[in-house]
Amino acid sequence: MLKSFRFIILLFGAFCVCLTEAKADEERFTVEVNVDVTDENASMARERALREANRAALSEVAKRITTDEGVLRLTGMTDDQLVNFIKEVFIIDEKSSAVRYIANLKVVINEDILKQYMQERQIPLILQSNLKVLVIPLFRVFNTDPPMLWESDNLWRQAWESAPRGEISTFISLPANGANYEIVDINRIAKMDSFILNKLKVLNHVDEVYVLDAVYDGIEGLIINSTPFGGETEVIRVSGDRSSGIALFNKAVAEMQNHIEQKQKQKSLAEASLESEYTVMFSFRSLREWVEAQQALSDIPYIKTIEVQAMGTNLVQFKLTFMGSAEKFLYALREKHYNLREDGKFFVLEKV
């Protein structure tokens, strides 16, 4: 297996590969890995580095698409088993000496093979990663204070603005821009006004919205009222020393990211048990329009199959099978500038 693997490396080694070239539907199965290995000679160091890169990439992808238990099962494979899930490896940069190999690699996991393996072994699959979560970080020094949001002394907001990406989510602190300024009423947001929160969700093109209302817990940490748009409030306590300043808030961000992502994973796993089939009609003026519609549908993670049943000159009928809630599927579809309209026994796919 290593011989064919080295061939892939050599084949693509002449190219300068950028992560931005990866297709959107491959992003959750693509990982950039840095390796630095010393061994008896450069060749052995390189081979071990590539094995380590494979394992690191599969581990990172597993965190995005399954539970903690699923991660353990996937990463428990041997190197020889694991290499079968590697689709491509690209060298971004590499250096070597007599006994050392250093490289920056892009590793692409084979999505179809991995999903099939998970299905056969009943390893749970999270429907969607790359979630965009809009965070509204309200902060008060005391409970009786009015909430702060974009004020310069809101350390809670500052911590979120510099927060790293999560395992399955990109967290976005509510941007202080003109469009959001026009909508935001902090007191109404603190009361979870659904009209304002829905407008912010649509305007900022996100999947979820969380209002995180934090206050000092005396001198011993933070109390955070965490409320997802359309969900129930949870009270999260983060221990720490108030005098540590931004460090306390950075710790709270890390704990909240983990808490939110665990809830998102549970929600996705519950939705994965839902499966629906629609018979859909689509009118097109040219074959290119149908190809573009197929691609848009294929890029939606909830779509399981697209089965063409009949096709005429300017009309196609197909069976669409998707997993999860219809609400999330339709929202994802509208993000692709398409909509489904019910028409008797059929649904009509329309470009919007």
Amino acid type, 134: L
Q: What is the pLDDT of residue 267?
A: 77
Least reliable range by pLDDT among 18-22, 83-87, 115-119, 262-266: 18-22
User: What kind and span of H or E run contains 185?
Assistant: none
Q: pLDDT-derived band of residue 129, with 50, 70 and 90 as boundaries?
A: low
Look at 271 and 51; give whichever has higher pLDDT: 51
- 2-120 and 275-351 have identical folds: no
Q: Which CATH architecture has domain 131-270?
A: 3-Layer(aba) Sandwich (3.40)
Distance CA 187, CA 197 (A): 12
- Rounded mean pLDDT of the chain? 86
Kindly tell me if the per-residue pLDDT of 19 is higher than 80. no
Gyration radius from the chain CA atoms: 24
Q: What is the pLDDT of residue 268?
A: 75
Q: Can you tell me the mean pLDDT for 20-41? A: 75
Mean pLDDT (whole number) for 173-193: 92
pLDDT at 65 exceeding the cut of 60: yes
- The CATH architecture of the domain made up of 275-351 is 2-Layer Sandwich (3.30)
**2-120 falls under which CATH superfamily?**
FlgT, N-terminal domain (3.30.1660.40)
Tell me which long-range contacts 15-18 makes (C-beta under 8 A, separation of at least 24): 15/90, 16/92, 17/90, 17/91, 17/92, 17/106, 18/92
pLDDT number for residue 13: 32
Mean pLDDT to the nearest integer, 43-56 = 93
Whether the model clears a pTM of 0.75, i.e. scores above it, the answer is: no
Q: How confident is the model at residue 24 (pLDDT cuts 50, 70, 90)?
A: very low
Q: Where are the domains of the chain?
A: 2-120, 131-270, 275-351
